[in-house]
Structure 1
Amino acid sequence: MSAPANAAVPQAEQSLRDTVLSRGYLRLLLLCVLLGVPIALACFFFVGLQHLLQHWVWESAPEALGYAGPPWWWPLPALVLAGLILAPIVTRVPGSGGHLPVNGLGGAPVGPKELPGTVLAALATLPLGVVLGPEAPLLAIGSGLALLAVRRSAAADAKARAVVATAGSTAAISTILGGPIAAAVLLIEGAGLGGARLVALLLPCLLASAAGALVFTGFGDWTGLETGALALGELPSAAGPDVGDFLWGLPVAALIAVLVTLGRELGRSTVGFTRRGSKAARTVACATAVGVCITAYALITGRSPAEAALSGQATLAELAADPHAWSVGALVALVACKGLAWAVSLGSLRGGPIFPAVLLGTATATAFSGLPGFGTAPALGLGIAAAASATTGLPLASAVLAALLLGGDAAEQMPLIVAASVVAFIVGQLVRRQRPEGATDTAGAAGAAR
């Protein structure tokens, strides 16, 4: 290494030390800590109220009418009502109810003026069965409340406001991602601080580390030799993936990426549809189409329409707990009907794109888990990672999310999870249509970090 390069390292370290220990930066850290508490409380009540309304629409109301569960026709009036509520919000309320979910979680941070419409759109429509998640509204709550707190501060410049908005979004999204690690990785990777060079460097590093972990795991099992690697002792976990899991799993990850990417492309076509003619009327038409898709699932399978409606969080938990309760035909119907409903919702309604996609990926992988040599636990892990990676374009954050969701089984499944995340990212890039330069296609909360 040359002398100038050697000299640059201490200079960079000194610059970082000066920044971190400066009074302005320490005040910013304190402000973010103080903001995290009220933002988390606001998000807690938002998620709690949304869940309460969802429970009433899909459980209490049908029971009050004498049904054991929501009948097959239930999604039709529920989604028409969602469209009628959302139509005036997207056409008349500041902020139009939030970002279009087909563009991911990104875009400019939602300010205090746009925040009420975003919250209203989410609380009034997501519980009615819109096939989107709460993650985008939560990010909006975090950034909106954070910007509201510093709006009257003359000391906060544009850069400090961007940092505070990002911190607020991180505090908000961590409430549903299992903690701060996944939220921080999502926000950092989504911000694209390293640009295309970071992604180009990240992919080979992820694949190399996955291959290395697989080799170490395999040789450790075959030879019985100890490597002295960092470990926490014995933990309850499923068996790690073997050659069969990789041979089946990586093509399945590619298939998931194709399905998810095609769904997003259909969502972009839906955007064009809603912008032609009366936006309000076409928003209602799209919501009705979502209701038709969910109803079709109930009629085809004889199962509850709630499985194909909503964000998919509850159905994902049921599928992971007892994957054999679904026949392959029911899983295929779930992917087809919910996938079409998700695609329409992406371009016309309001919410987050990730949670339904994760269920679609998991259902797809589970449908193939009966193949010889392909285990259920590896299928669950790769389904989560592949769908999240294809949806967000963030392979590292998707692998972390899958690991957190798998819990104790994650350590054994990480090689396959990481490889599936990278494969899905690459296939997604191959399948999606090239858009004109400057077109919006951000997947993370990049706008909040700018």
Structure 2
Amino acid sequence: MTREAADSPSAAGSRPSRIVPPQARALLPLVLPALLIGVGSSLVLSGISWVAERLEHWLWGTLPNGLGVSGTSAGWTLAMLTAAGLAAGLIVWKFPGHTGPDPATRGLVDPPLPVGILPGVLLAAVVTLAGGVSLGPENPITSINVALAYALGMKFMPRAPGNAWVSLAVAGTVGALFGTPVAAALILSEASGGPDPRPLWDRLFAPVFAAGAGSLTTVLTATPALTVHSTPYPGPRLIDAVSAMVIASAAAVVALAAVYVFPHVHRGFHRLGHPVLMLTAGGLVLGALGVLGGQLTLFKGLDQMRELTADPGAHSAGNLLLLALVKLAALVVAACCGFQGGRIFPAVFIGVALGMFAHALVTAVPMPVAIAAAVLGVLLATTRQGWLSLFVAAVLAADVHLLPLLCVAALPAWFVVTGRPEMLIKSPPPGSALSGEASRRSVD
């Protein structure tokens, strides 16, 4: 190229494009929104979790002690779960928008809710978390963050596509929940969407940035809790791969039984026709299950699974199976009767209990292999998200040597669950107390 050509306006105009390609320039405007949404998502999660934890300590510790009763007694457990159901039912009945669509019809990544519904969703989520209900925080908090990000994003950057705000909020919340952006990238890579010709990492650039901001905020302000204590894994063996495949597939079959029961339980509660009746009845059933399974089967399950694995010798094989089945039943009841909450964390507890049960039956199977494989199988059946299930099982195991075994174990377990019904109600029963406009007319 001659000097004249190099100094020409056309050459000067093309120079910035060579330095910063158009694809990269298109990503830059998303950096600041991704940062703000990621940090904001983490703060919302931390704030709601903090309030729920303070309320939980008061309800299950300070209050019963003040009344001279035990917070772990059967009577208190039954009373608290029933009261939680009544409180949640009153919130659904009286708050604007009735906390939105039936939680049993919503997944982790869903369209944004109207902002006016969020106070009811927030209060209902706090009741779920503090009241001992067997559901996690992921679904309602993701819904809150998605609604806020969408409303603010469309106000201040109306030309940006609406699904961009949904992706950023989901990524920021998932990154905050798990303390790493990897889970968010895996979930969004599985989410269905329209055709997009951009490379995968161009599509994931802003969401991963939001997830990184959310996870870093959580790591700096709190301690991610998705860990359990287990004996060290001695190293990979061929027999361990076979054991992992069997355990993951068996755990998936157990969880699929709950998936098949799910719509029938949902239909049964919705025949009561009113959210107060549905949720109070659900709370009563959860209280009875809590009495049967004990305190370990209450709440979202993270602290409880650490307590369970801290002293595995304290639990017989029969008791471990009982814990897993009671928690599975509690998850189904809580999700079907209308409580706001997610299913991932309770499903992890179920997998941990089933894995310990498998190890108790066949002690030659290393505990880390049994737990990780069972968690993988339960999550595949209940979430139908392969990458997320593999990620959670691998993080829980905290041993890179288990990853090849889990990848192999995921294949037969996926064969078991693929094409089966999902733990999700596609459309609520007609006239249901949580079925949108029809419900609003029926309960108002």
TM-score by length of 1: 0.75
User: Equivalent residue for 1:365?
Assistant: 355
Report the Cα offset of residue 133 of structure 1. 0.5
Report the Cα offset of residue 250 of structure 1. 1.8
Opposite residue 260 of structure 2, the aligned amino acid is E
Q: Contact 2:233–2:366 (CA<8 Å) still a contact in 1?
A: no
Opposite residue 417 of structure 1, the aligned amino acid is L
User: Equivalent residue for 2:369?
Assistant: 378
For 2:96 and 2:118, locate their aligned partners in 1 and report how far apart those are by CA, in whole Å: 9
Identity of aligned residues (%): 27
User: Equivalent residue for 1:74?
Assistant: 76
Aligned 1:242-281 pairs, distance under 5 A = 242-280=237-275, 281=277
Moved more, 109-118 or 127-136: 109-118
What secondary structure sits across from 1:131 in the alignment?
coil
Residues 364-385 of structure 1: per-residue CA shift (max 9 Å, x gap):
1110113153110111211222
Answering whether residue 421 of structure 2 is matched by residue 414 of structure 1, we say: no
Report the Cα offset of residue 413 of structure 1. 0.7
Q: Contact 2:84–2:127 (CA<8 Å) still a contact in 1?
A: yes
Residues 104, 264 of structure 1: CA spacing in aligned structure 2 closer, same or farther, 3 A cutoff?
farther
Q: Contact 2:107–2:424 (CA<8 Å) still a contact in 1?
A: no
Residues 10-38 of structure 1: per-residue CA shift (max 9 Å, x gap):
xxxx9x9534313xx42223212122223
User: Equivalent residue for 1:3?
Assistant: none
Equivalent in 304, 314, 317 of residue 315 of structure 1: 304
Residues 422, 324 of structure 1: CA spacing in aligned structure 2 closer, same or farther, 3 A cutoff?
farther
Answering whether residue 380 of structure 2 is matched by residue 396 of structure 1, we say: no
Q: Contact 1:320–1:380 (CA<8 Å) still a contact in 2?
A: no
Report the Cα offset of residue 182 of structure 1. 1.2
For 1:433 and 1:146, locate their aligned partners in 2 and report how far apart those are by CA, in whole Å: 28
Aligned 1:10-409 pairs, distance under 5 A = 18-22=22-26, 25-66=27-68, 69-97=71-99, 100-101=103-104, 103-153=106-156, 155-157=157-159, 160-191=161-192, 238-280=233-275, 281-297=277-293, 305-348=294-337, 349-370=339-360, 371-407=362-398, 409=399
Moved more, 423-432 or 135-144: 423-432
Q: Contact 2:71–2:77 (CA<8 Å) still a contact in 1?
A: no
Residues 433, 184 of structure 1: CA spacing in aligned structure 2 closer, same or farther, 3 A cutoff?
closer
Moved more, 315-324 or 336-345: 315-324
What secondary structure sits across from 2:113 in the alignment?
coil
Residues 240-287 of structure 1: per-residue CA shift (max 9 Å, x gap):
342332333322211211221221332222222233242221232122
Residues 246, 95 of structure 1: CA spacing in aligned structure 2 closer, same or farther, 3 A cutoff?
farther
Opposite residue 310 of structure 1, the aligned amino acid is F
For 2:424 and 2:285, locate their aligned partners in 1 and report how far apart those are by CA, in whole Å: 26
User: Equivalent residue for 1:223?
Assistant: none
Report the Cα offset of residue 69 of structure 1. 5.0
Report the Cα offset of residue 121 of structure 1. 0.5
Q: Contact 1:262–1:432 (CA<8 Å) still a contact in 2?
A: no
Residues 426, 53 of structure 1: CA spacing in aligned structure 2 closer, same or farther, 3 A cutoff?
farther
Residues 193-217 of structure 1: per-residue CA shift (max 9 Å, x gap):
789xxxxxxxxxxxxxxxxxxxxxx
Q: Contact 1:94–1:114 (CA<8 Å) still a contact in 2?
A: yes
Q: How many residues align?
A: 372
Moved more, 309-318 or 274-283: 274-283
Q: Contact 2:347–2:382 (CA<8 Å) still a contact in 1?
A: yes
For 1:368 and 1:178, locate their aligned partners in 2 and report how far apart those are by CA, in whole Å: 29
| Larger RCO, structure (CA 8 Å, separation 6 or more) | 1
User: Equivalent residue for 2:433?
Assistant: none
For 2:351 and 2:255, locate their aligned partners in 1 and report how far apart those are by CA, in whole Å: 8
Opposite residue 401 of structure 1, the aligned amino acid is V
Residues 39, 106 of structure 1: CA spacing in aligned structure 2 closer, same or farther, 3 A cutoff?
closer
Report the Cα offset of residue 92 of structure 1. 4.2
For 2:367 and 2:194, locate their aligned partners in 1 and report how far apart those are by CA, in whole Å: 36
For 2:69 and 2:80, locate their aligned partners in 1 and report how far apart those are by CA, in whole Å: 16
Moved more, 419-428 or 36-45: 419-428
Report the Cα offset of residue 431 of structure 1. 4.9
For 1:296 and 1:435, locate their aligned partners in 2 and report how far apart those are by CA, in whole Å: 26
For 1:434 and 1:351, locate their aligned partners in 2 and report how far apart those are by CA, in whole Å: 14
Unaligned stretches of 5+ residues in structure 2: 1-17, 197-230, 429-444
For 1:92 and 1:184, locate their aligned partners in 2 and report how far apart those are by CA, in whole Å: 37
Q: Contact 1:390–1:428 (CA<8 Å) still a contact in 2?
A: yes
Moved more, 311-320 or 61-70: 61-70
Unaligned stretches of 5+ residues in structure 1: 1-13, 196-235, 298-304, 441-450
Q: Contact 1:273–1:282 (CA<8 Å) still a contact in 2?
A: no
User: Equivalent residue for 2:434?
Assistant: none
* RMSD of aligned residue pairs (Cα, Å): 2.9
Q: Contact 1:97–1:120 (CA<8 Å) still a contact in 2?
A: no
What secondary structure sits across from 2:176 in the alignment?
coil
Opposite residue 351 of structure 1, the aligned amino acid is G
Report the Cα offset of residue 137 of structure 1. 1.7
Q: Contact 1:386–1:423 (CA<8 Å) still a contact in 2?
A: no
Q: Contact 2:259–2:423 (CA<8 Å) still a contact in 1?
A: no
Opposite residue 72 of structure 2, the aligned amino acid is P
